[in-house]
Amino acid sequence: MQKFINKLQSSLNDGSFVKLTLSKPRAKSQEPRANLNNVYVKPIILKNEKMFSFTYRYERRDETKNYDAEQSFEIITNFINEVFLNASLFTLTEDVTLLISKKGKATVMTKAVKEQRDQNVQHDKVKNRLINTDNPWWFKLGLTTREGKVTADMQHKFKQICKYVEIVDGVMKNVKFDGKVRIADMGAGKGYLTFALYEYLTQRCKYDIEMEGVEIRPDLVVKINEIIKESNLKDFRFVESSIDSYQISAVNSQSIAHGSRLMAHGSLDVLIALHACNTATDDAIIKGIESGAKLIICAPCCHKQIRQEMEKSKIVDPITRYGIFLERQAVMITDAIRALIMEYFGYKTQVMEFIEMEHTPKNILLVGRKSDAPVDKEAILKQIEDLKKQYRIEKHYLEKVLFFKPLN
């Protein structure tokens, strides 16, 4: 242990220190360091002076503090003696690893650095963010301060927004669009995700888009449209409507036949519905199918309809006998049938994780890309019927609205 501490002190004094990681806490329940998982240390230049930035990583938050070399040495030494069992020191010339067993035996491993290594001493490094929080609409939406800093209570929402934009961008890159891209965001709410996607696609990706947020609450529609106007954002608006009654403006009118009915509608390239409650997700999918959207992206929530059908049937098996498993099974069946129905109408479907469960339990994203590949509709209908029979489900809401003819 003393060998490691000597190398640490030398690197701090001679300027060869690059970074240090402390890990494997001895006991997470210790106070005042409860739930401290890691400490990361790096050199920075702060007000023309060399300092050392400490990032304290707890289970649910990070804290950052800055110290000079003498203070840093004392703090790191105390952590090694009292809190952490592992330490990794990286210098310009070598990597030094300290491993301490639970019985207190210390082992040091040293590895020479062959390639040239640089120090990163930049403070407040600009992050490569997908959206720019300096844009004025983020303050007006309540996400940031006037200075463009994400507020503390919106950190999780901001991470969710960035993840959402990253996923949608990746999905859109695999779809060919011609000319202006028409996008409708169903149940857009306060507009965080709608603004994020509009900003990213227009400012970063240079798409020519027309964005419409669909929201049933009139006060929100008025407020968001004021922000859009004040921000001088073109081809972007919110409309007051429920999802099922939303009318797509007929820019390029066309018709599509399915089942026994023929529908006239406007064209739509991308339909998005994030956390549209219960069957509102199905209403959004219907709008996407009816408009011939090339891309349908949904993050479903509140899967009540199928759960109620399953409870009504009173079927009990080793899974559904437990309430929490019944709920999860209802979620999976609901979204599986949604995916199958989208495939019936020529969409290649994919189900993926939207964001980590720690940020929201509503973390499933259902994606459908319009495809020209042939579809075995009879086989898909049979899969739907088999699922329904297994759990005695009379109808899936989306199946009912689209006039599917049951096989039985």
Token pair for 119: 């120090």
| Dihedral Cα 132, 138, 142, 145, nearest 10 deg | 60
Using DSSP bridges, classify how beta strands 364-370 and 347-353 pair: parallel, antiparallel or unpaired: antiparallel
Beta bridge partners of 19: 90
What stretch of H or E contains 97?
Answer: strand 94-100
Task: Give burial (CB, 10 Å; 0-12/13-18/19+) of 168.
Answer: buried
Closest CA to 20 of 89, 70, 83: 89
Q: What is the pLDDT of residue 358?
A: 44
DSSP H helical ranges for 121-274: 136-140, 155-172, 192-199, 218-230
The predicted model scores a pTM of 0.63
Q: What is the pLDDT of residue 405?
A: 45
Q: What is the pLDDT of residue 33?
A: 57
Token pair for 308: 């109620």
Q: Backbone phi, then psi, for 134, in 5-degree steps? A: -75, -15
Q: What is the pLDDT of residue 6?
A: 94
Q: What is the DSSP string of 19-48?
A: EEEEEEES-TT-SSSTTEEEEEEEEEEETT
Cis omega before residue 32 (within 30°)? yes
* Averaged pLDDT in 10-residue chunks for the chain of 408 residues: 94 92 78 76 87 88 90 95 94 93 91 74 56 92 91 87 86 87 94 94 90 95 96 95 80 35 58 85 91 91 78 70 77 90 93 58 81 93 90 82 50
Fold of the 136-401 domain = Rossmann fold (3.40.50)
Query: For the chain, what are the domain ranges?
Result: 2-112, 136-401
